[in-house]
Structure 1
Amino acid sequence: MTLMARIGAAPMSGYQWLIVALCTFMNCLDGFDVMAVAYTGPSVTEEFALTGSQFGLLVSVGLIGMALGSMLLAPFADLIGRRPLILISLTLGTIGMFGAAMAPSVTMMGLFRLVTGLGVGGILASTNVIASEFSNTKNRGLAIGIYTAGYGIGATLASLVARSTVGGDWRTVFYVGGFGTLLALIVIAVLLPESVAFLEQRRPQDALERINRTLARMRMDSISEADLDQGAAAGKNARQSGSRWLKQLLTPTILLWIVFITIMFGFYFVNSWTPTLLTEEGLSESAAVTAGMAISIGGTVGSVLYGLAARLRPPRVVLIGFSLLSAGMMIVFILSTSILWLGFGIGVLVGALINGCIAGAYTVGPLLYPSTVRSVGMGWALGMGRIGAILSPTIAGVLKDAGASATQLYVGAAAVVALCALALVAVRKHEPDYTPATKEPATA
């Protein structure tokens, strides 16, 4: 039995849940980063005299950085290790956050937003893998759900900081983000171990010692050099057998890309534009931030709720329901914001549902691929999903400048999210357990 198979079959230890918690903490940085620029949008727009298109571009620059970080930095995780890449990425995030806080112009702010995005992209590409690798088979879905909830926690913290600075200096939000990222850098440097899967496959000089030290903390038996040789041989055979995966799985791969693109489009529209749009619709800046905070609060529990629901029904079916409900609640939300308490309640639902969709995509996607190419397939899907994340704020800004109202923008984004359900219906025939229906012979 390979090392990863042993971890998959063994009970989860407290140390493994600690690693999931560390990954969740780092995912909080993503939520804080995206919502920092969203919640400070009205103040940033006023100080730098930005148009809607220019603000949308400022939001998208950070997302472009995240896409580049995922594509350009993530491959180094297989060369130097997950842990070193995370430390490098946290350093970039710290520089970017403090740089944005001190930026004298929107151009400089955009440059530091790009640097922050690079760091966040590198973090996300590695932490998602680590959370999965250190989880057993039974609790992997729940672990990913908890990990995904980190975004909502970070976004909620950003909203609380933003509310305290309404009428004051918006740069405080980015200073807080910078100190938070610096804290994460210190904590991760002290507590996070290297991925045992990386050590098993790459075999650095002290691989066996480091693996056994980690296994001891996980309350698992140590392994020998022979066990490492077996794992390396299995990994080599898996890579060879999966070399032609794209041709064989082209259709489900394209469908999964559509799922990620549509979900990310709606997710980043809701999280990036809500405070600014509501302010321009007549709400006070404080009320707009409160409504945005409701979405963030919902996001902290949505992914966990999805994980619990997926224990009762197939994950794909649950995700179809979440995506359709998300689309419907987005429309209800924008129509209800004139009544603040109602808008707050609906906002919590929107945040829970759309964040649950992200967890659902992480759960449904791996089922479409054999284990030999699962990380490659999901990596491509995540990269394609960033297209929706990047396009969403920019398209919203262009349409807003063209005269679109907040209600029209929300309805359009809801329609995009609803397309996810159609792609998921088509995905069914590509799942491993799918059995085509057969017609019974006609009787005379």
Structure 2
Amino acid sequence: MDIRHLIDTTRMSTYQWFIIGLASFLNALDGYDLVAMAFTSSAVSEEFALTGAPLGWLLSAALIGIGLGSLFLAPLADRYGRKTLILAALAIDLLGLTMSALADSFTELLLWRVVTGIGVGGILACVTVVVSEFSNLRFRGLAISIYSAGYGLGASLCGVLAAQFIPVYGWRSIFAIGAALTAASLALTAFALPESVDYLRGRGEHAKVRAVARRIGKTGEFEVREAGVDKQSASIAELFRGPLRATTIKLWIAFSLITAGFQFANQWTPKLLTEYGLSAQQGIIGGIMLSFGGTIGSLLFGSLTTRIDARRVLTAFTLLSAVVLVGFVSAAAWPTLMFALGVGVGMLLNGCVTGMYTVTPQAYPAALRTTGVGSAIGIARGGAVLAPIVVGYLLDAGWSPTALYSAAAVLVGVTALVLVGVREYTAPVVEREGVRV
């Protein structure tokens, strides 16, 4: 039995679940880091005398950084190791948060928010792959959903701390707390996270593979097979060779559509509900319902994948999301029903994001896994950055909230069609001296 097959088919050990917990903590920090600017925006605007346009750039700066980090930093993990790049990305994130807390001007803060995003982009791509590689087949979807749920928890923590600390210590305290938490995670990751066995196997480091296997409780007999035909150079160009070309294009489109729909709903819901005639307080409650539903959605998606193929669950979630998006805004005249549907919108859209994180690593060979995930996340950040901006222009052009939600529903629904044909990667069968390998 090969080590990959051993991990895929045997029971999850306590240490494997610890790795999932550590990944969830890192994702919670990413959630904290990304919403820190939103919660400090009023205080920052007051100190630097910012109008809407420069504030908008500050709110988008980290998303731009994530795109850069996912596209250009994450592929290095397939060359130098998952753990190595996670540590490097955490260090970049720590630098960005620390310098954000010390920024004395709009330009400085903008720069360091981009740097923070670069670190977060590297972390997201690498940790997603680590979760997939250290989980068995039965619980892989659940493990990724637990990991994804960490984002909402971290974002919520940032909001609670902002309410308590900004009035007393100022907006810089939020970035300082984020830096302290990131420093702690850097030390914990260096000590507790093992290197990926798939990466080590691909490099032929058999002794290290066996050491990691013992660490995660895999003490049975197994072989350490060479990567063979799976071994490829880790570059984005490799994602477009042979049958991977169609897979990559489909995943990039699907990730972009899901991310655009997710960002639209999460960032614009409070404002659009007030445009529909609801009070500002009701708009805020609507946004909270989406966030609350998001945590449930990640866990629900993972639970379902323990019994149903992740691609089928993702397809169902995208189609249901399209229906519930339209139902949500159509129920604006009945706030109680609308808030209930808001939970459904957050649950299903967040489940779709979790689904993309589940399906994408499985679609690539081990040697290209981080490159594949990182490129998809990076491309999808284009949708994340553009969606809120485009919606603003459409709203100014006279589009109604119902029309905007309907358009978002169409985009999310189309994802189900785009994903047709995406399958888990299987290495081609070749013959060596008459033996099929």
Which category of TM-score, normalised to the shorter sequence, fits these structures? 0.7 to 0.9
User: Could you tell me the TM-score, scaled by structure 1's length?
Assistant: 0.80
Aligned residues: 421
- How big is the alpha-carbon RMSD for the aligned residues of Structure 1 and Structure 2? 3.6
Equivalent-residue separation in structure 2 for 1:101 and 1:22 (angstroms): 25
- Specify the code of the residue in structure 2 equivalent to 1:157: L
The question of whether the paired residues in 2 share the 8 Å contact of 1:367 and 1:432 is answered with yes
Map Cα deviations across residues 174-212 of structure 1 (whole Å, 9 max, x no partner): 3332222222122212221222222333356xx62x444
Equivalent-residue separation in structure 2 for 1:373 and 1:84 (angstroms): 16
- Specify the code of the residue in structure 2 equivalent to 1:216: R
The question of whether the paired residues in 2 share the 8 Å contact of 1:62 and 1:117 is answered with yes
Identity among equivalent positions (%) equals 44
Which residue does 1:73 correspond to in 2? Answer: 73
Which residue does 1:420 correspond to in 2? Answer: 415
Offset of residue 115 of structure 1: 0.7
The question of whether the paired residues in 1 share the 8 Å contact of 2:29 and 2:154 is answered with yes
Per the alignment, in what secondary structure is the counterpart of residue 231 of structure 2?
Answer: helix
Which residue does 1:384 correspond to in 2? Answer: 379
Per the alignment, in what secondary structure is the counterpart of residue 22 of structure 2?
Answer: helix
Offset of residue 149 of structure 1: 1.6
Per the alignment, in what secondary structure is the counterpart of residue 16 of structure 2?
Answer: helix
The question of whether the paired residues in 1 share the 8 Å contact of 2:62 and 2:114 is answered with yes
Per the alignment, in what secondary structure is the counterpart of residue 217 of structure 2?
Answer: coil
- Specify the code of the residue in structure 1 equivalent to 2:92: L
The 5 Å alignment of 1:322-341 reads: 322-333=317-328
Which residue does 2:185 correspond to in 1? Answer: 184
The question of whether the paired residues in 2 share the 8 Å contact of 1:331 and 1:407 is answered with yes
Which residue does 2:218 correspond to in 1? Answer: 220
The 5 Å alignment of 1:295-306 reads: 295-306=290-301
Gaps of 5+ in 1: 434-444
Offset of residue 123 of structure 1: 0.7
Per the alignment, in what secondary structure is the counterpart of residue 241 of structure 2?
Answer: helix
The 5 Å alignment of 1:352-371 reads: 352-365=347-360
Cα 1:71/1:34, change in 2 over 3 Å: same
User: Could you tell me the TM-score, scaled by structure 2's length?
Assistant: 0.81
Offset of residue 35 of structure 1: 2.4
Map Cα deviations across residues 273-303 of structure 1 (whole Å, 9 max, x no partner): 4456668889888776554343222222212
Offset of residue 40 of structure 1: 3.8
Cα 1:97/1:241, change in 2 over 3 Å: closer
Equivalent-residue separation in structure 1 for 2:318 and 2:40 (angstroms): 28
Gaps of 5+ in 2: 426-437
Equivalent-residue separation in structure 1 for 2:177 and 2:69 (angstroms): 22
Equivalent-residue separation in structure 2 for 1:74 and 1:294 (angstroms): 33
Cα 1:118/1:240, change in 2 over 3 Å: closer
Which residue does 2:145 correspond to in 1? Answer: 145
Per the alignment, in what secondary structure is the counterpart of residue 33 of structure 2?
Answer: helix
Equivalent-residue separation in structure 1 for 2:161 and 2:337 (angstroms): 23
Which residue does 1:90 correspond to in 2? Answer: 90
- Specify the code of the residue in structure 2 equivalent to 1:159: G
Map Cα deviations across residues 360-387 of structure 1 (whole Å, 9 max, x no partner): 2233445655777666544443332222
Equivalent-residue separation in structure 2 for 1:184 and 1:286 (angstroms): 36
Equivalent-residue separation in structure 2 for 1:212 and 1:272 (angstroms): 46
The question of whether the paired residues in 2 share the 8 Å contact of 1:42 and 1:279 is answered with no
Offset of residue 317 of structure 1: 3.6
